[in-house]
Structure 1
């Protein structure tokens, strides 16, 4: 596509893995590759260092919620790091898609990890509370109404003194070009028979700029930049 087309968000850009009838084998391979791809593009180390480890080092027992967990790679990685550091972290990882939860359950079991097929609304209504609420690459999937709803739920789900950090892609021509170039050599090898390259490019087109996300967020939220092409929509302090 022409990179100038990225100046405006394209909420109609299609991601195949969102189709309920997409190829189940390719979908399973996509979930299996998320751990590698997210390690490279999602800055999980920064999420841990800035928002979770300080609480653990202060001696807190931290309860975390991962919204839209997909294959469950993010909470597993964070739990490993917390265990390495001697911290008390537990994680509830949710996704409304039964295919995602099935893929997450196929992964290795881990102490402190609770995988559930449910929604933020159901957890909020039931009175669940968390010290840290996170998501990764979820916001660009949402309509304006859905975005408002998940942010409202997040506010209810955060315990007093808690923090919410929704991480997503920062749309730009550079991000699109970099992802296209970086994934092209692996299209027929590591990424073969997955949706990662095509859906990743569509995800960038669907994603927000910092200014767009700030306009869409209600009062009390702030947007921060991250590396390499990241945005964090944050409520609360570390």
Structure 2
């Protein structure tokens, strides 16, 4: 199955139906709990990279409705860790939903901040975070934008960057299509999810587009992780 880079996700349209879009953001937590695998990524990669002697910081690029940022905070709190997560998304609709979700969850600005911004803006501000992440962002990007986000991530991350995305397989289309039948017509989740699978990379395709220092890792049956670690200074 060839990658379909021309396929367009309806929620990305500036004219997307507001009610359908709202429902899509509201359904993301359920879908991501089932398919994104962030709990294992947090336990195996993110948590070990967080400092214990101060408040750790995470940047979530393209945070959408903010459910991954909220999950990371809850897990860190349960582990007794002090953490602040910053979520950025240039889409004002995503920013509005995520900000409301943060308020409803009771997280204050010292723990969670959502900004309407792109990664390049934070680079220009001189911002730095312990860990930089994204979820389901890479397949949206054309080659120049992909290169830009990866380069920005290396500047913004003190120690680790992880971009998690779908791994394209025919069986993923079939299983996702069947599993999301109950959601058909209620939001953009099913249609855009199938489009996302068609737009996504195989592990080998992702490895070919990653710059030096990045590694493509196949996580589970249907996940790709693009991982970058900052090398310690020479002599240490």
For structure 1, which runs of at least 5 residues remain unmatched after alignment? 1-6
CA contact (8 A) 1:94 1:118 kept: yes
Give how far 1:44 is off. Answer: 1.4
Aligned-residue offset at 1:206: 0.3
- 1:73-152 paired onto structure 2 within 5 Å: 73-107=67-101, 108=104, 109-111=106-108, 112-152=111-151
**Which residue in the other structure is 1:54 paired with?**
48
**1:167 is aligned to 2:161:** no
Q: Contact 1:95/1:116 (CA < 8 Å) preserved in 2?
A: yes
Q: 1:126 to 1:237 in 2, by over 3 A?
A: closer
Q: Which runs of 4+ in 1 moved over 2 A?
A: 55-61
Identify the structure with bigger relative contact order (alpha carbons < 8 Å, sequence gap 6+): 1
Shift in Å, 1:225: 1.1
User: Which residue, out of 188, 191, 199, partners 1:206?
Assistant: 199
1:196 to 170, 185, 189: 189
Distance 1:57 1:228 in 2: 31
Deviations 1:128-179 (A, max 9, x none): 00110000000000001100011111111112xx100000000011111111
Question: Would the aligned equivalents of 1:170 and 1:230 in 2 still touch at CA under 8 Å?
Answer: yes
Determine whether 1:221 maps to 2:220.
no
Q: Aligned-pair distance for 1:95?
A: 0.2
- The Cα shift of 1:56 comes to 4.5
- For residues 179 and 17 of structure 1, the distance between their equivalents in structure 2, rounded to whole angstroms, comes to 18
- Deviations along 1:70-103, whole A, 9 cap, x unmatched? 0000010110110011001110000000000011
C-alpha RMSD of the superposition: 1.6
Secondary structure at the residue paired with 2:165? strand
- Report how many aligned residue pairs link the two structures: 226
Partner secondary structure for residue 180 of structure 2: helix
State yes or no: 1:23 paired with 2:22.
no
Q: TM-score, normalized by length of structure 1? A: 0.91
Distance 1:168 1:110, change over 3 A: same
Distance 1:14 1:53 in 2: 35
